[in-house]
Structure 1
Amino acid sequence: MFRTALRNVLAHKARLLMTTLAVMLGVAFVAGTLVFTSTLSDAFAKSSAKGFEAVDVAIRPGGPDRSGDGSEGGDLRGPADLPHELLERVREVPGVASTTGSVSGFAALADKDGKLVGEGWSTLGGNYDAGPNGKGEDPRYDLRDGRAPRRAGEVALDSKTAERTGYEVGDTVRLSVNGPVREEKVTGVFDTDDGGVAAGGTLVLFDTATAQELFSQPGRYSEIVVTASDGVSQRELKENVEEILPKETEAVTGQQLADDQARMIETQMDGMRTGLLVFAGISLFVGVFIIANTFTMLVAQRTKELALLRAVGASRRQVTRSVLVEAVVVGTAAAVIGLLAGVGIGAGLRSLMGTMGATVPDGPLVVTPTAVAVSLVVGIVVTVLAAWLPARRAAKVPPVAAMGSVHAPATTRGLVVRNTIGALLAGAGAALVLTATGMDDGEAPMGAGAALLVIGVFVLTPLLSRPLIAAAAPVLRAFGVSGKLARLNAVRNPRRTAATAAALMIGLTLITGLTVIAGSVQKGIGKLATDSIKADYVVSMANYMPLSAEIERTLAEQDEVTAISPMRNSPSRIDGEYEYLTGVDGAAFGKLVELDFTHGSSADLGGEKVVVDRETAQEHGWRVGSDFEVTYEDGERGELTVAGVYEGNEMIRGIMLDTAVLDPHLEQLTSMQVMVRTEGGPSESVQSSLEEALGDNPAVLVQDKQDVSESIARMITLMLNMLYALLAMAVVVAVLGVVNTLAMSVFERSQEIGMLRAIGLDRRGTKRMVRLESLVISLFGGVLGIGLGVFFGWAAGELISSSMSTYELVLPWTRIGVFLSLAALVGVLAALWPARRAVRLDMLEAIKTE
């Protein structure tokens, strides 16, 4: 039986080709994902570890609470920076060879065209520590050209940034730290192993005094790096240093830092890996239908052969094993080819990142044993599982079937059972989805219901195929005999048609559902920006870091500005819990936002009176007139009064109080954004005037409401396009399924096609018949997929609308039309080879075929 199975594989090479391709594509996706993420993880981890080679021990502020005990009176501003006195004390510790004070923060660098460099990656500034006498070298950075910065107005650039921008020693660069534009002279170019730079970021170095002024406070460091003397281990040095460290300060070995960084990188890669594997799983799930279809058709075509095997003594178990052995052979071949293709995909994705401007650290392509094992196991297991049902069906072929030419079709009873099960599953799934739309936390029930509904519809597709395909009869009649034959062929074997259409249905369900959700969210956010903001412009940093108070002052001085308010975030403690306070200009706030107040109004905001969103008020049991005690970030206490309660949204929520009350408790006056209203409303000239006043700063965004909406829309569109690209694999596999079904159907109907040709159906009519059959099957799958996708999009929107009041269902009719056209195109393309094969059949040979 084993030899028989191998001979069958070799005898049906062409018919198993599409199955092999389907499995191979799914496995290649899995292998490519594992290789790509492992390669990135390894490259970044090694690059990061290299950056810690000069670090034996790092001293850092520790603990989020300066009070040390989490008490009500504690300082909430986070750990304090390290004083210069501590650095001097560490220099005297036994085993210390050298110490370096480190200061770092955000620094946006503009290229020669004024555009932000390193956007989307790490854009950092730091200090070059030249030692106590100012003439030493910083072991972290190896100067390639020029010298280190020594005073204000001088900077050094990392070599990769210098290469990308074309800056050289002596050039003047424009940069921004927290708002205002600075012009600095490049005095040096250095090499660094910093992981952020290796990933395409930038690093700008200032002299220590300037860096402290920009990122910390004079005489203070964010970290102290210590190197050990010869013969002193990192653990021994750490123990020595810890003896002189004050409370709320910690010492960490360089090895631990490298290990922590590697774990963080691995965690980040896990998210990417999981996301990509989900789409690989979808492709493999779609491939299951193709595999099951292929083996079902092969079993049907070999009925006499299997029956004869039973007649000469083969048991049911042996026949089942024979078919499963074929599946193992096909799955193994597909898995091996898919693994090799996956390695190529992993390498290609890494190169693609480079062409898209994302720099990946140098390193080898990593093919882990896990990737190899998972790829092989997935390919073989998926194929065997998909072939198991056809194998069982093959074992049930009675020996008497050897006397006939075909095995008995599915019984009416079997179809009734299938339709009953499908109706129950679909009904339960739809009911669960509908119930979940009214739940506060309905994501899990909705996911379970969606899965049940898809399975139920798949089980019901043979029943659904007849009425839906019959609906196309009027159109098909226009194609004469070819159209009529195509319709009859499409419904001749409903199970086969169902399995073929289901593969395409799943892909289009996901694509349509995602499109409906994305379009609706985009519309809701755009409406939110329009409805809740009366300001003409919103000013923020390009990386959403805090803005300098100087930005607010500069804007307030402009003649065209009629109202302005910052939005400052500050941590506080209320009722023993952390809450963020938002500081605004009480007098101008009502002119810049449009909030729906259930009690009170924005006019009541000022002094010790605050306005609170409804959810926060309910959590604390507040109402208008309620007094509550607050501990500000500097540890000082105060009492505030609720003067108004409003409906919060995704853009504005929380506790709003006047900056006159909040600002004295802040260590630094910074804002997350500044809202501006201008005389005459927004216009290009006013926007240009504001940008010019801010020095045409590449790091600062001046956006009107339309810009805010469009920036969010761009993010959603980018995400949607990425999902389309990932789901395209599932559509490609579905196309292979249609090709496979048609090709094997043509082979199965060779005698019939030969007879049709003999009685007058010409080559063009034969091609048209096969193409129309493919078109009908594809459109059937497309209609089911789009229908399910719209339903799931609506259901998910009902959940989203509970947290987004402006959410509005948008049915993207244009894109839905494109998806339906895509399904039709799939049918046309999939029929090219089967139709060509059908017209090449020799009529006399085909008629003689049994």
Structure 2
Amino acid sequence: MFRTALRNVLAHKARLLMTVLAVMLGVAFVSGTLVFTNTISDAYQKSSAKGFDQVDVAVQSKYQDSKGDKVGKTPDLTQAMLDKASKVPGAASATGVVSGFTAVADKDGKLLGGDWQSAGGNYWGTKDARYPLVSGHAPHGRDEVLLDSRTAKRAGYKVGDTVRLSVDGPVLTPTISGVFTTDDGNVAAGGSLALFDTPTAQKLFGKQGGYDEIDVKAAAGTSQSALKSALDAALPSHLVETTTGKQLADDQAKQIADSMSGLKQSLLVFAGIALFVGTFIIANTFTMLVAQRTRELALLRAVGASRRQVTRSVLIEAFAVGTVAGVTGLVAGIGIGAGLRTLLGSFGASVPDGPLVISPGTVVAALAVGILITMLAAWLPGRRAAKIPPVAAMSSVHAKATTKSLVLRNTLGSLFAAAGVATVVGATTMDADSAQGPMGIGAVLLIIGVFILTPLLSRPLIAAAAPVLRVFGVSGKLARQNSVRNPRRTAATASALMIGLTLITGMTVMAGSLQTAIDKMASSAIRADYVVSMANRSPLSPDVAEKVAATAGVTASSPLRNAESRIDGKTEFLTGVNGAAIGKLTDLKVDEGTFKVGGSQIVVDKDRAKEYGWTPGSHFTAHFEDGKARTLTVAGVYEGNDMIRGIMLDNKVLTPHLKNPADMQVMVKTANGASEAAKDKLVQALGANPAIKIQDKQDISNSIAQIFTTMLNMLYGLLGMAVIVAVLGVINTLAMSVFERSQEIGMLRAIGLDRKAVKRMVRLESLVISLFGGVLGIGLGVFFGWAAGQLLGTKMPTYELVLPWGRMAVFLLLAGAVGVLAALWPARRAAKLNMLAAIKAE
């Protein structure tokens, strides 16, 4: 039986090639994902570990929790603490570290390093082992800065050049006094690092004589744990906490691994989809192969082979196919992993240097997935073949499914589909956070139900295409009949395409609906012409709001200044605004009272008003970070949204209580509305700062939409794998269908059907099956998009379902194109059949 199974594999090379390709693509995606994420994770971990070479113990501030009416805060590490740390037994040196966001512009004024990777800090002096100087000298004062060598090389800077940079808004133009090297992971990944002398860094980053961290180097012979114990004894434990360099490196490695796990899981989901689609193809292939060899298997049973031996022979074939697919998929996956890393570079995202990581787990996973998926998919056809009595197999009385089996299948499919629809619809009435699980379960149940019911659905849906097919005469009629001749095979082929289009359509419906909701939210909530903010959403200096207000053509402006407070024993964030101007800059619906901000009068969104039981005229006491308090009065309750919400009070009341006032954004209204001229004035007023974004309402909407667009494009690319696998499935099905109908095709040719008509028949059959899968996929996608939108609507009042008719038409055309392309080779093969040889075929 073993030799028989191997001979069968070798005897059907062309037919099994498509199956190998289908499995190989899924395996390649899995192994490629593992290689890529392991490589990136390993490179970042090694790079970050180097960054802790000069740190044996780090001393950090301990957050003081909010208690009663006292607002929590993080105390600064003082010079006295630094001096004490440097003198503890076992300490060789201690360095005070100051750090924060620092945007560096290239020579064209564009931001270097990216929004989130542009960093700055302090240079401790020529003995600072963290940052060895390559050229130049240490910075002195506000007019000098050091730049990392990678950024300097990328931007073409050298010692003595003037560079434009910004820490919190205002532009600085220091001279580059020197260039240094660093093992900092962000720099290795394409970020930038600018260093000032310590007093300048403390002033720029709001530390005023303090530090963010104290890094202590151990003396020779002193372990990190011993140094940590000495520091714990010397420093106030209620204000600081200590961590060894090893622990910091381990924690950062864990953070990197955790951050990569999300990407890994997302990519593996798409690999799973490709494999899931591939499973249909494998099962379909083996079902047809077994059906073609029914008499051969019956003969084996007649001469003494047992049911187990027949099943085992099919599984041996599957094992051989899965092994080949697993090995080739692993090799292809290694190439995909390397290619994805290179692709990141082409998008401008640098990755630390490091070798390609191919772990034993990746190899095992690739082979296991390839072999197990293939064997599981082949098990049912093999078991079904083994159950057929030899006499029945030889006379082919087993060929058609019994009425009982069809009734059972349709009943089971109806139950699954009904349960899926009920669960999904029920989830739309639940809270958004708790509904995700039930909705996911309902979606799976519905897809399984539709898959089981697909043979039943195929007849009426394909029959609907009959009037169009009649135009093609005999070829069209035969194509329709062939499509419904074996409903199970048609269902398996169409389902592969259905799954991919379900996901693509569902995500497209959601993205389009969200875009419309965001546009409405921006236009309905904001009257301001522009919103000014930092590129990385870090706080703005109050100087920015002052410069904006003084700009010619600005009629109203207001900074949005956030601050923590305590109200009724709870932590609440207050939003300070220009009370006289905020009404001209926003258009928020007022549910109760009036929208009035000034003095002790405030406005609050309805969610917080409900939480605290406030109505217009209610009084409450807010406790600020400086320990002082003030009684405030609710003037009005408004409807908040994702852009504007919370408690608004006048900055004249809030700012005196803040140690370091900072704004999240500044809203601006100009005399003649949004225009290029008005924007240019604001840009020039702020010094053409690369770190500052000046956006109108459409820009805000587009920036948010860009996130969805990027995700959607990634989704299209990843789901393209499932579509490719589906194409292989259609080719496989048609090729085997042509082989099965060789005698029939030969007879048709003999009675006058020419080669063009035969080709047309096969192409139309493929087109009908593909469009059938496309219609099912788009229908399910719209349903899932609607259901997900119902959940989003509970948190986004402006959300409404928008059906992208144009894109859905494109998806249907894509399904048709898949059918046409997939039929090219089978149609050509059918047309080339020798009619006499085909008629004589068994």
Fold conserved (TM > 0.5)?
yes
Q: State whether structure 2 residue 292 is matched by structure 1 residue 292.
A: no
Q: State whether structure 2 residue 638 is matched by structure 1 residue 646.
A: yes
| 1:123 matched residue in structure 2 | 118
* Cα distance in 1 between the residues matched to 2:49 and 2:143: 32
Kept in 2: contact 1:121–1:199 (CA 8 A): no
Q: Which amino acid aligns with 1:353?
A: L
Q: State whether structure 2 residue 664 is matched by structure 1 residue 669.
A: no
Q: Which amino acid aligns with 2:315?
A: L
Kept in 2: contact 1:81–1:216 (CA 8 A): no
Give the deviation of 1:454 after TM superposition.
1.1
Give the deviation of 1:718 after TM superposition.
1.1
* Cα distance in 2 between the residues matched to 1:405 and 1:643: 85
Q: State whether structure 2 residue 47 is matched by structure 1 residue 47.
A: yes
Match for residue 471 of structure 1 among 461, 464, 469: 464
Q: Which moved more, 1:331-340 or 1:259-268?
A: 331-340
* Cα distance in 1 between the residues matched to 2:717 and 2:543: 44
Q: Secondary structure at the match of 1:571?
A: strand
1:811-826 residue pairs with structure 2 within 5 A? Answer: 811-826=803-818
Q: Secondary structure at the match of 1:780?
A: helix
Kept in 1: contact 2:146–2:180 (CA 8 A): yes
Match for residue 184 of structure 2 among 157, 182, 194: 194
Q: Which amino acid aligns with 2:105?
A: A
Give the deviation of 1:404 after TM superposition.
2.4
* Cα distance in 1 between the residues matched to 2:394 and 2:732: 29
| 2:70 matched residue in structure 1 | 74
Kept in 1: contact 2:540–2:664 (CA 8 A): yes
TM-score (norm 1): 0.97
Kept in 1: contact 2:170–2:686 (CA 8 A): yes
Match for residue 733 of structure 1 among 725, 728, 733: 725
| 1:794 matched residue in structure 2 | 786
* Cα distance in 1 between the residues matched to 2:172 and 2:361: 50
Q: State whether structure 2 residue 777 is matched by structure 1 residue 785.
A: yes
Give CA-to-partner distance per residue, 1:411-465, whole Å, 9 cap, x none.
1221121111111211221122222222223222222221111111111111111
Distance 1:120 1:659, change over 3 A: closer
Kept in 1: contact 2:45–2:253 (CA 8 A): yes
Give CA-to-partner distance per residue, 1:727-764, whole Å, 9 cap, x none.
11111111111011011111111111111122222221
Kept in 2: contact 1:121–1:196 (CA 8 A): no
Kept in 1: contact 2:70–2:566 (CA 8 A): no
* Cα distance in 1 between the residues matched to 2:21 and 2:374: 12
1:215-254 residue pairs with structure 2 within 5 A? Answer: 215-246=205-236, 247-254=238-245
Give the deviation of 1:249 after TM superposition.
0.8
1:425-464 residue pairs with structure 2 within 5 A? Answer: 425-441=416-432, 442-464=435-457
| 1:399 matched residue in structure 2 | 390
Q: Secondary structure at the match of 1:226?
A: strand
Give the deviation of 1:402 after TM superposition.
4.6
| 2:164 matched residue in structure 1 | 174
Q: Secondary structure at the match of 1:624?
A: coil
Kept in 2: contact 1:121–1:200 (CA 8 A): no
Q: Which moved more, 1:36-45 or 1:355-364?
A: 355-364
Q: State whether structure 2 residue 333 is matched by structure 1 residue 351.
A: no
Match for residue 833 of structure 1 among 817, 825, 828: 825
Q: Which moved more, 1:144-153 or 1:783-792?
A: 144-153
Structure 1 unaligned blocks of 5 or more = 131-135
Give the deviation of 1:565 after TM superposition.
1.0
Kept in 1: contact 2:71–2:564 (CA 8 A): no
Number of residues paired by the alignment?
Answer: 839
| 1:133 matched residue in structure 2 | none
Give the deviation of 1:824 after TM superposition.
0.8
Q: Secondary structure at the match of 1:824?
A: helix
Q: State whether structure 2 residue 74 is matched by structure 1 residue 84.
A: no
Q: State whether structure 2 residue 768 is matched by structure 1 residue 776.
A: yes
Kept in 2: contact 1:627–1:639 (CA 8 A): yes
* Cα distance in 2 between the residues matched to 1:706 and 1:7: 66
* Cα distance in 1 between the residues matched to 2:338 and 2:666: 45
Match for residue 100 of structure 1 among 95, 98, 110: 95
* Cα distance in 1 between the residues matched to 2:215 and 2:608: 43
Kept in 2: contact 1:303–1:407 (CA 8 A): no
Give CA-to-partner distance per residue, 1:589-616, whole Å, 9 cap, x none.
111111111111212x222222111111
| 2:140 matched residue in structure 1 | 150
* Cα distance in 1 between the residues matched to 2:367 and 2:566: 55
Give CA-to-partner distance per residue, 1:385-432, whole Å, 9 cap, x none.
211221221111111035325742111221121111111211221122
Q: State whether structure 2 residue 255 is matched by structure 1 residue 264.
A: yes
Give the deviation of 1:12 after TM superposition.
1.7
* Cα distance in 1 between the residues matched to 2:673 and 2:130: 51
Q: Which amino acid aligns with 2:259?
A: Q
Kept in 2: contact 1:782–1:823 (CA 8 A): yes
Give the deviation of 1:19 after TM superposition.
1.1
* Cα distance in 1 between the residues matched to 2:556 and 2:479: 70
* Cα distance in 2 between the residues matched to 1:51 and 1:96: 19
* Cα distance in 1 between the residues matched to 2:397 and 2:762: 23
Kept in 2: contact 1:128–1:205 (CA 8 A): yes
Give the deviation of 1:321 after TM superposition.
1.9
* Cα distance in 1 between the residues matched to 2:2 and 2:703: 62
Q: Secondary structure at the match of 1:587?
A: coil
Give the deviation of 1:380 after TM superposition.
1.7
Kept in 1: contact 2:71–2:571 (CA 8 A): no
Q: State whether structure 2 residue 655 is matched by structure 1 residue 660.
A: no
* Cα distance in 2 between the residues matched to 1:680 and 1:372: 64
Q: State whether structure 2 residue 552 is matched by structure 1 residue 559.
A: yes
Q: Secondary structure at the match of 2:44?
A: helix
Kept in 2: contact 1:180–1:697 (CA 8 A): yes
Give CA-to-partner distance per residue, 1:682-715, whole Å, 9 cap, x none.
1111111111111111111111111111111222
* Cα distance in 1 between the residues matched to 2:178 and 2:418: 70
Give the deviation of 1:120 after TM superposition.
4.2
* Cα distance in 1 between the residues matched to 2:725 and 2:653: 63
Q: Which amino acid aligns with 1:408?
A: A
- Between the two proteins, what is the percent identity of the paired residues? 67
Q: Which amino acid aligns with 1:738?
A: V
| 2:15 matched residue in structure 1 | 15
* Cα distance in 2 between the residues matched to 1:44 and 1:115: 26
Give CA-to-partner distance per residue, 1:325-364, whole Å, 9 cap, x none.
2222211221121112111111111111122211111111
* Cα distance in 2 between the residues matched to 1:382 and 1:609: 67
* Cα distance in 2 between the residues matched to 1:421 and 1:237: 68
Give the deviation of 1:121 after TM superposition.
4.1
Give the deviation of 1:143 after TM superposition.
0.9
Q: Secondary structure at the match of 1:444?
A: helix
* Cα distance in 1 between the residues matched to 2:666 and 2:115: 22
* Cα distance in 1 between the residues matched to 2:665 and 2:818: 49
| 1:141 matched residue in structure 2 | 131
* Cα distance in 2 between the residues matched to 1:797 and 1:157: 48
Q: Secondary structure at the match of 2:164?
A: strand
Give the deviation of 1:586 after TM superposition.
1.6
Kept in 1: contact 2:602–2:633 (CA 8 A): yes
1:467-546 residue pairs with structure 2 within 5 A? Answer: 467-546=460-539
* Cα distance in 2 between the residues matched to 1:709 and 1:191: 40
Q: Which amino acid aligns with 1:32?
A: G
Q: Which amino acid aligns with 1:438?
A: T
Kept in 1: contact 2:79–2:210 (CA 8 A): yes
* Cα distance in 2 between the residues matched to 1:530 and 1:47: 45
* Cα distance in 2 between the residues matched to 1:584 and 1:378: 58
Match for residue 108 of structure 2 among 96, 113, 116: 113
Give the deviation of 1:80 after TM superposition.
1.8
Match for residue 372 of structure 2 among 363, 368, 381: 381
Give the deviation of 1:640 after TM superposition.
2.2
* Cα distance in 2 between the residues matched to 1:39 and 1:647: 48
Match for residue 712 of structure 1 among 686, 704, 711: 704
